[in-house]
Structure 1
């Protein structure tokens, strides 16, 4: 139950951010060009990747499908916000990001929990493997 609560806590945070990005794409591009400069990626590619990640990974978290894989890019985003953007602009440094990182790291380590599609698929595959032996 705890894993479900964590998934349902983290998903809307990132999903709302993704909706905001696609809701005003010109503003998003401007922010990635001027404010959210990340190393190694052109601003338009970074904006597209951020929006796509924020809109797809939370859906997987809610379902508990590929939970570990879904939490990984969200953890990378939280780390980037806190330590890359936060280093350049203290306004991005927020203690709440540490909480996000802790919860996402927990999902990576523990997985989606019993109330997840991951758990159901694992149970189903073990059952099928048992039938074959």
Structure 2
């Protein structure tokens, strides 16, 4: 098999993948995947619906130690954000804004909390950047409400 035949076969496979794996499929997958990560993190901070645990306050006081924001306020902001913005992503509502907010959270975590966890944070940033750049896709409230 010569190089031209390999190139042709590769291009056919790439075209098939581009057709079979649409933006809509990528967007709904990105929305669900990143929402799951942040919701799971948010659930570790609360008991019941949205009551913060004592351990959450301790984490923000002792381990996270964010600058400028008191730990009690930062704990509430993080817990609520980790529930609210993923819910918007799941619904595909205000997707670009929700993804931007979670990207901002990711940046704060990377810069101030766990700077050596950049591979994990990069894996969070990738779907968030995709959603900011391309939007929620047609399987979303954004599309239904013509917000995209």
TM-score (norm 2): 0.76
Rg (Cα) greater in structure: 2
CA distance in structure 2 between the partners assigned to 1:73 and 1:32 by the alignment: 19
Superposed counterparts of 1:91-130, under 5 Å: 93-122=117-146
Structure 1 outlier segments of 4+, above 3 Å: none
* Structure 1 residues not aligned, in runs of 5+: 124-133
* Structure 2 residues not aligned, in runs of 5+: 1-24
Q: How many residues align?
A: 119
Alignment-derived partner of residue 68 in structure 2? 40
CA distance in structure 1 between the partners assigned to 2:83 and 2:42 by the alignment: 5
State the Cα distance separating 1:94 from its structure 2 match.
Answer: 3.9
Alignment-derived partner of residue 82 in structure 1? 110
State the Cα distance separating 1:31 from its structure 2 match.
Answer: 0.5
CA contact (8 A) 2:41 2:82 kept: yes
Residues 1:13 and 2:37 aligned together:
yes
Alignment-derived partner of residue 62 in structure 1? 90
| SS of structure 2 residue aligned to 1:35 | helix
- Cα-Cα RMSD: 1.4
| SS of structure 2 residue aligned to 1:41 | coil
| SS of structure 2 residue aligned to 1:113 | coil
